Amino acid sequence: MTHAPLSQAQILQLLELARLGTWSRDLVSGEVWWSDEFRALLGMGADEAATRASFLKRVHPDDRARIDRELDAAYTQDGDTTLTFRILRTGGEVLHFQSSIRIQRDETGGRPLALGIVQDITPQRQIEEELRRQTAYLTAIVNHLPQGITVFDNQLRLQYWNARFGEVTDVPPEALQRNARFEDLILYPALRGEYGPGDPEDLVRQRRALAARFKPHRLERTRPNGRTHLVEGEPLLIDGRTMGFITTYTDITEQKQAEASIAHLAHHDALTGLANRFSLYARLEQAIADARRHAQSLAVLFLDLDRFKNINDSLGHHMGDQLLMLVAQRLRATVREADIVARLGGDEFVIVLHSLKGAQSAAHVASKLLAALSAPYALDTLDLHVTPSIGISLFPDDDEDATGLMRNADAAMYHAKALGRANFQFFTEELNRRITERLKLESRLRGAIARNELALWYQPKIAAHDGRIVGVEALLRWHHPDGGLVAPSSFIPIAEETGLIVDIGTWVICQACRQAQAWQSRGIAPLGVSVNLSTRQIRDAGLLTTVTETLQHTGLDPALLELEITESTVMERPDTAIELLRALKALGLKIAVDDFGTGHSSLSYLKLLPLDRLKIDRSFVSDLERDPNDAAIVAAAVSLAHNLGLSVTAEGVETATQVERLRALGCDELQGYHFSRPITADEFEAFYLAYRPQP
């Protein structure tokens, strides 16, 4: 069913019903026509002339000049134009209007017209103004919240943020731009990736994935003053077609500091800050479990201050507390950071030492504690003296649980007090005896160089092909004034553990180079001299300087000095060792790997080392005549060395048969009791002058 077109009168009635005023203007004659509804909207009488001036008279004074210009512009251009303006009614009422203008140009040559529709949009503007007021009110509230607030869309692009957000998270103002990505603002790598639009089902899956991944998160910010601030972000999912997230960011630094303070008070002694009894037992049980899992030892040291009660009674508890705090500081400074230091109460302390090599390590720490705690304490105008008594129990030797170890260490501490105080005692007497002997040996070793108790002995190295003496290995000996010659196996480990080996090693290098040069000055042909380096020396930053200065001071040809290292020494820190050995090699000296075949070396590292020689361990030489496997190992080592451009020295040669077999296998040098035991420098000089090669 079709309807007849609406008449002009009907159209005007519809416009009047919709409260839409209409108007037109002949762009040639300037004649203007206004509808009755338009006049009513403007508040004009039916007899008032329809002129531009009468219209502008009712426009708000602040809008007149603009509307006058915009009307002229609308009449001169094609297309539609929309104008917004205010009408000032009698009585001061202000109404908001919107006028749409279309220029009608007749293609047949008719007169051009400007046609317009005017609508009262005051209700919409009132709603918009109310929304603006409400938005400003809410924005003011949000900006004054202590939390940072953000709104991200479903692709995690920033849409809104309050002023507090940048302050809380330290995001710089220049980064706060609309559509900035979440991960670019706060560097949250777990959320990298795009979530673009797709088909409806795909969009739902993407939104679910995004919601699952956008979880509460924590940021750690370091301020310019060095203080660390913690910020917690809590997202809230927004449902709807344009799903996104509102997130609050709260500075939880003070909260976490308070929690940490409470936790610290629960596990630490209030006076000294050390672990308390409760924390000690929990951590000791964990340390025992770790030691059991890794097949390691640990020690519990129970420490009590001698005659502390006298200080408390005579000087007062205030002075006693100050003394206890100083004792705690010294305890903490004397042991490793990983070790446990606790105060049980009063003047009783406990130290738990992790990853011990043995009882001697515990004794070494106990000696350091005795020295540290026995030094004077400056309190006010007084110098106080106090000494500790220390009891030691070992896991797993003395017991395997925390209660037993604590009980045994406590018993050992009372034994130390019974023996006169200011000492330490182990739980077992036999261990006390051995440790005491070792400590005496260590104490004597510390002054061995100054007392001229150390000496170098030399063992000749023989060229395999013609039997000539081509060098010597310098071997350290210690003449103890009470016990005579001390076996290297007894004192070298002590020197390694205490670090004395660095000074002793420096003395050995200087003495060996000086002796090699002295032999030359007495007419002996230049001989190479080999010196062993320990693991501690390889780690010593001054080794390169020591060797350089020694060669300069003694005048020895660097090519005559050979430094011997073991496989285990190299493999402890291979990259560092390689760098150091290359620097030493650049001086012109030689590098040898001692005891080859007994360590756990990697051939990939071996080929990178700047070596000149491999020394085959005596364990492969001793059974060379009876065990074909040893012969095969020696042959393989010789072949490997020669292919790498290295010479080979066999150690521990004791028989003529071994000499022949080693020559046949291609060894370059031989060393062992078959030729000579280690002897003094004077003895070697006599041996050299009397020696006749036996090819």
pLDDT of residue 507 exceeding 90: yes
How does DSSP classify residue 177?
-
Q: Which residues contact 157 (CB under 8 A, 6 or more apart)?
A: 178, 179, 180, 181, 182
Confidence of residue 195 (pLDDT cuts 50, 70, 90): very low
- pLDDT attached to residue 474: 96
Q: Find out whether 192 and 174 touch, Cβ atoms under 8 Å.
A: no
Q: Is 129 exposed, middle or buried (CB count within 10 Å of its CB: 0-12, 13-18, 19+)?
A: exposed
Q: Which stretch of 86-100, 151-165, 526-540 has the lowest confidence by average pLDDT?
A: 151-165
- 594: phi > 0 → left, psi -120 to 50 → alpha, else beta; which? beta
Averaged pLDDT for residues 357-376: 90
- 273: phi > 0 → left, psi -120 to 50 → alpha, else beta; which? left
- pLDDT attached to residue 112: 84
pLDDT of residue 535 exceeding 60: yes
Report how far residue 66's alpha carbon sits from residue 60's, in angstroms, rounded to the nearest whole number: 11
Confidence of residue 578 (pLDDT cuts 50, 70, 90): confident
- pLDDT attached to residue 224: 66
Better pLDDT: 122 or 562: 562
pLDDT of residue 110 exceeding 80: no
pLDDT of residue 353 exceeding 90: yes
Q: Which CATH number fits domain 145-256: 1.10.3470.10, 2.60.40.1180, 3.40.50.1110, 3.30.450.20?
A: 3.30.450.20
Q: Which residues contact 100 (CB under 8 A, 6 or more apart)?
A: 80, 81, 82, 116, 117
- Domain 454-690 in CATH: superfamily? EAL domain (3.20.20.450)
**Amino acid (1-letter code) at residue 157:** R
pLDDT of residue 239 exceeding 80: no
- pLDDT attached to residue 438: 76
Using CA atoms, how far residue 454 sits from 197, 333, 486, 505, in Å, is 83, 33, 10, 11
Q: Which stretch of 27-41, 46-60, 142-156 has the lowest confidence by average pLDDT?
A: 142-156
Report how far residue 193's alpha carbon sits from residue 179's, in angstroms, rounded to the nearest whole number: 15
Domain with CATH 3.30.70.270 in the chain: 268-445
Averaged pLDDT for residues 227-233: 69
- For 303, half-sphere exposure in the C-beta direction (CA atoms, 13 angstrom radius) is 28
Task: Phi first, then psi: give them for residue 376, nearest 5 degrees.
Answer: -60, 150
- For 534, half-sphere exposure in the C-beta direction (CA atoms, 13 angstrom radius) is 22
Averaged pLDDT for residues 492-496: 85
Report how far residue 434's alpha carbon sits from residue 217's, in angstroms, rounded to the nearest whole number: 57
The CATH architecture to which 268-445 belongs is 2-Layer Sandwich (3.30)
Q: Find out whether 426 and 356 touch, Cβ atoms under 8 Å.
A: no
Domain with CATH 3.20.20.450 in the chain: 454-690
In tens, the pLDDT along 618-647 reads 888 888 878 888 888 888 889 988 998 999
Better pLDDT: 245 or 69: 69
Confidence of residue 456 (pLDDT cuts 50, 70, 90): very high
pLDDT of residue 188 exceeding 60: no
Using CA atoms, how far residue 377 sits from 323, 330, 343, 366, 383, in Å, is 7, 11, 19, 19, 5
Report how far residue 284's alpha carbon sits from residue 263's, in angstroms, rounded to the nearest whole number: 18
Using CA atoms, how far residue 470 sits from 637, 642, 670, in Å, is 21, 19, 10
Query: Class of 8-122 per CATH?
Result: alpha beta
Report how far residue 495's alpha carbon sits from residue 505's, in angstroms, rounded to the nearest whole number: 10
Cis peptide before 123 (omega within 30 of 0): no
What is the length of the chain?
695
Q: If residue 436 lies in a helix (H) or strand (E), which one and from where to where?
A: helix 429-445
- Only one residue has tokens 């504690």, namely 369
Quote helix, strand, coil % in the chain, to nearest 5: 45, 25, 30
- pLDDT attached to residue 14: 57
How does DSSP classify residue 44?
-
Q: What's the pTM value of the predicted model, to 2 decimals? A: 0.49
Domain with CATH 3.30.450.20 in the chain: 8-122, 145-256
| Orientation of helix 429-445 relative to helix 359-374, angle to 10° | 70
Token pair listed for 362: 């515990």
Q: Which of 612, 496, 495, 622 is nearest to 564 (CA)?
A: 612
Q: Which residues contact 502 (CB under 8 A, 6 or more apart)?
A: 536, 537, 540, 542
Confidence of residue 434 (pLDDT cuts 50, 70, 90): confident
In tens, the pLDDT along 394-419 reads 999 888 899 989 989 988 888 888 78
Token pair listed for 50: 């329809």
In tens, the pLDDT along 241-257 reads 556 777 777 777 777 77
